[in-house]
Structure 1
Amino acid sequence: MSVSGDVVAEPRRRLHPLTPLLQGAKSIVVAIAALSWSTLSRVGLGWFAVLVAVLVVGATVLAVVSWYNTGYHIVGRELRIHEGLLWRRTRAIPLERLQAVEVVRPLLAQLTGLAELRLEVVGGGQTEAPLSFLTVAEAAALRDRLLTLAGRGQSPVPDAAVPGDGAPLPAAPPAERLLRLVANREVLVSQLLTPQAFFLPIGVTVVLTEFLTSGSWSFIAVASTLTATAGIMLQPIRRVLSDWNFRLSMQESGLRVHRGLLETRAQTVPLDRVQAVAVTWPLLWRAKGWLRMRLEVAGFSAESDDNNRPDRLLPVGTLTDARFVTFEVLPGVDLLTVPLTGVPRRARWLHPFAQPVLGAGLGERVFAARRGALTRELVIVPYARIQSVRVVRGPLQRALGLATVHVDTAGGAGAAAQGRDLAEAWMLAAALTERAQAARRGPG
């Protein structure tokens, strides 16, 4: 290690030597997709294979050179990542901004005993600093060490025990307390009770009918039909695979979420980074008394693919499960006792179906807002996580004397109290601002 003043810089480490091989395997899929079936029909199978081989070899060479120039190390309370071919780049990530750490293992990484470390940071529009690939032990040890240096976690990992220094890893991982284990059968049935699953037979029938009536049994026609069918079936299948073997547990460093079949994910979210908790009751699930829960954490990109978003809290469960999980994530908060007041009857002109459902209220520690007609949602925001409060009035709201109170958080969506009486909206906004300031100041 090198020391500069009070800042300790560890030796730079490279990613696992198998990283170029796994990146090259990805390049094969990308190359074939880029060339497309139309290219195959124009140039023939032989030239198509040559083009794929050239692209794969080129991508593999680039992956090897990129691996050689990529490295990471910890300097003080920063994680620094060095990368780049022609243009070298160094990213310094202050660990104070760290929101969550996720260990991801795609299928090829599972077969080779490797993993990818992904970091979520404050203000990040996408996942920051994905380290692909490390050994599973190294990824887990680095995750725990980053959380410790960020001021969360258990006892610090000694420098001599950091993977790559030739010293043994910590003897055992921190103990976990299981909160909820979701049955795979419930995950599967819940996805069958979705609009995508209901319309799936119709979509497949349309594609197959078009193929059979076209009269063409060429390779291109068959491949295009299979591709279209797979695209229709992909969404519900991906959600099932993503939430397979879902396990939620509590650790001293925060919430620990394990899930996935072909791609496994182990995510750690410190509790002090939770901005909001949302509980959703889809229409088709209400007959079985099911709901789902998600976290809102600063740093998670709201535009990311829904199947890959690292904000799952409970993919499917009952109200009893939701109450228990909420109490663990937001101590002292009970879903059944959160105070909610309705909206004036004139709000039905703007929300004809949702007006009986709309509600908002101030609890002892949190603000809650409920909305939705077919799919109902309850969002709970701790006062200490409120960044700003807005009162918004559109033309129709002004005519009806109504307003919407928006509560913004660092996590993105926040919560919105819709259809409130104008005078009540201003009082609610003032109370929220006062309680948010008091919560941030802390007791005393």
Structure 2
Amino acid sequence: MTTTETPEQAGRQRLHPLSPLLHGAKSLFVIVAALSWQSLRQLGPTHFAMVVLAVAVGAVIFSAVGWWNTGYQVVARELRITEGLLWRRNRAIPLDRLQSVELRRPLLAQATGLAELRLEVVGGGKAEAPLAYLTVREAAALRERLLALSGRTSVAVSSDAADPAAAPRTVTPGGRPLFSVSNRELLISQLLTPQAFFLPVGVAWVITQFVMEGSWTFIGIASTVTAMAGVLLQPIRRVLRDWDFRLAHDPDGRLLLHYGLTETRSQVVPLHRVQAIRITWPFLWRLTSWLHLQLDVAGYGAPERGNDTGSDRLLPVGDQHAARLVVGAVLPGVDLAALATSPPPPRVRWLHPVGLRFMGVGLHPDVLVTREGRLSREMTLLPYARMQSVRVVQGPLQRMLGLATVYADAAGGRSGAARDRDLAEAWALADELARRARLARRPAAPARPAAPSDLRQPADETFWQRPTQA
């Protein structure tokens, strides 16, 4: 008896054969970590080891069955993924909605020479359809093929592209190197954080309590160690995440990011998908004139404050010169040193008695610039072509003072906020932002002589400070 396969089944490719072992190892680690020391004492070392072995075999078998029923295939301009045994799941991802493809290599994947591919699509709150695991060469080849089919690169896609081994690209950033972060500066920057700054205070308090009490219970020691670990975890995670951070440009004009120690990550970001750049000067970092840059890319979910898992880093730590270089590469024609802003009216001091002098907004030829902050100062650069909507919001206190806030929204819920502007000024600013956004989205027109009615204004223009009253 012979079986025939459909063309789609014949063209479907499987993940690497070692994938079940890696998935099983992760499951085993979680299960063993969930078992308590009490279980070890009750079962004894021998029986406990037998239980762990049985769980390991079961996890590997379960992962192998999942691997056997999982496959992927590129059909026309879609990536189709099939998985599941009892509940079959078929996904078709249109490549025209593809924003970027990230290649990750966790610690076990690095040891076995494998990699994981994650796709970011429009409107996705998380990575879509992670393919774990492929060889590094296959993952890099598939990433280039998907980006080429989505129109993000100029790489020609032929019928030979179906063979992942035929692609010559590598996973490490190639092209023109742009900037690399010193690991020494990365370590020092994490020492200049509130967690590291207050750690000696916490240690001194613990020692004082120990000396005064004269005794120390097991619960007290365990709770203290847990608290200290929680304080140190975030800076350590940032160091491991951003270790050996490198930026580069490839021949197709994309931004290449490579970083990580225990988990290396390689991202390809098309510059036309950049929604905004956020520049932050943390309070303690101002002692060394350092800052960090975040990149808002269409398709990435907006990371919450304090969340280190977002794919939005552009420069973990650097000085003004490095920031100026990187911003100029991501937003051509934008000079960070020339971005002037105008402050809100003086009566805003009743709402912001401390941070008034750090607030401002500026219209520049290509971007909207907003500034705010008290202890940590922040600047947002939002290209006009990326604006999705413009809002004028007025709270009860703002109505009493004749003020309003103008929000320029980009994809993913990101906003540039011109806070507490004069009401007439806010409406004039909103109208001008809407017009500039429409103009930036129009196809390039042939050059013509400048006219007084042109919307292209000088870089330091402050026309909205002189609104005409109706």
Settle same-fold status: TM greater than 0.5.
Answer: yes
Secondary structure, counterpart of 2:358 in structure 1: coil
- Look up the equivalent residue of 2:178 and give its one-letter code: L
TM-score w.r.t. length of structure 1: 0.90
TM-score w.r.t. length of structure 2: 0.85
Deviation at 1:408, TM superposition (A): 0.8
Secondary structure, counterpart of 2:337 in structure 1: coil
1:405 equivalent in structure 2: 406
Deviation at 1:48, TM superposition (A): 5.0
Secondary structure, counterpart of 2:432 in structure 1: helix
- Look up the equivalent residue of 1:293 and give its one-letter code: L
- Look up the equivalent residue of 1:334 and give its one-letter code: D
**CA separation in 1, counterparts of 2:287 and 2:322?**
16
| 8 Å CA contact 2:141, 2:169 repeated in 1 | no
1:188-207 matched pairs, under 5 angstroms: 188-203=187-202
Deviations, residues 142-165 of structure 1 (Å, cap 9, x unaligned): 11111111112232243324345x
Q: 1:357 to 1:93 in 2, by over 3 A?
A: same
**CA separation in 2, counterparts of 1:55 and 1:32?**
9
Secondary structure, counterpart of 2:353 in structure 1: coil
**CA separation in 1, counterparts of 2:65 and 2:39?**
29
**CA separation in 2, counterparts of 1:414 and 1:37?**
49
1:337-352 matched pairs, under 5 angstroms: 337-352=338-353
1:74 equivalent in structure 2: 74
Q: 1:419 to 1:92 in 2, by over 3 A?
A: same
2:168 equivalent in structure 1: 170
1:143 equivalent in structure 2: 143
| 8 Å CA contact 2:118, 2:130 repeated in 1 | yes
2:241 equivalent in structure 1: 242
**CA separation in 1, counterparts of 2:365 and 2:240?**
39
1:272 equivalent in structure 2: 272
**CA separation in 2, counterparts of 1:74 and 1:212?**
69
1:429 equivalent in structure 2: 430
| 8 Å CA contact 2:149, 2:157 repeated in 1 | no
| 8 Å CA contact 1:408, 1:414 repeated in 2 | yes
Alignment gaps of 5+ in structure 1: none
Deviations, residues 292-350 of structure 1 (Å, cap 9, x unaligned): 10100112122477333211111111111111111111111111222311001221222
Q: 1:10 to 1:281 in 2, by over 3 A?
A: farther
- Look up the equivalent residue of 1:124 and give its one-letter code: G
Q: 1:345 to 1:33 in 2, by over 3 A?
A: farther
2:155 equivalent in structure 1: 155
1:19-30 matched pairs, under 5 angstroms: 19-30=19-30
| 8 Å CA contact 2:276, 2:296 repeated in 1 | yes
**CA separation in 1, counterparts of 2:224 and 2:130?**
35
Deviations, residues 337-380 of structure 1 (Å, cap 9, x unaligned): 22311001221222221111110111111111111011111101
CA RMSD of aligned residues (A): 2.8
Deviations, residues 389-425 of structure 1 (Å, cap 9, x unaligned): 1111111111111111111111332211111111111
- Look up the equivalent residue of 1:443 and give its one-letter code: A
Deviation at 1:14, TM superposition (A): 0.8
Q: 1:434 to 1:214 in 2, by over 3 A?
A: same
Q: 1:9 to 1:170 in 2, by over 3 A?
A: farther
Secondary structure, counterpart of 1:356 in structure 2: helix
Secondary structure, counterpart of 2:101 in structure 1: strand
Q: 1:231 to 1:27 in 2, by over 3 A?
A: farther
Deviations, residues 56-103 of structure 1 (Å, cap 9, x unaligned): 333222211111111111111111111123211111111111111111
**CA separation in 2, counterparts of 1:361 and 1:182?**
30
Q: 1:84 to 1:336 in 2, by over 3 A?
A: same
Deviation at 1:188, TM superposition (A): 0.6
1:317 equivalent in structure 2: 318
Paired residues, number:
435
- Look up the equivalent residue of 2:193 and give its one-letter code: T
1:335 aligns with 2:336: yes
**CA separation in 1, counterparts of 2:286 and 2:18?**
47
Deviation at 1:206, TM superposition (A): 6.5
Deviation at 1:105, TM superposition (A): 0.6
Deviation at 1:230, TM superposition (A): 3.4
**CA separation in 2, counterparts of 1:225 and 1:37?**
20
Larger Rg: 2
| 8 Å CA contact 2:145, 2:161 repeated in 1 | no
| 8 Å CA contact 1:10, 1:75 repeated in 2 | no
1:256 equivalent in structure 2: 256
- Look up the equivalent residue of 2:405 and give its one-letter code: T
Secondary structure, counterpart of 1:61 in structure 2: helix
| 8 Å CA contact 1:9, 1:74 repeated in 2 | no
**CA separation in 1, counterparts of 2:338 and 2:359?**
16
Deviation at 1:129, TM superposition (A): 1.3
| 8 Å CA contact 1:296, 1:412 repeated in 2 | no
**CA separation in 1, counterparts of 2:425 and 2:185?**
42
| 8 Å CA contact 1:387, 1:410 repeated in 2 | yes
| 8 Å CA contact 1:187, 1:315 repeated in 2 | yes
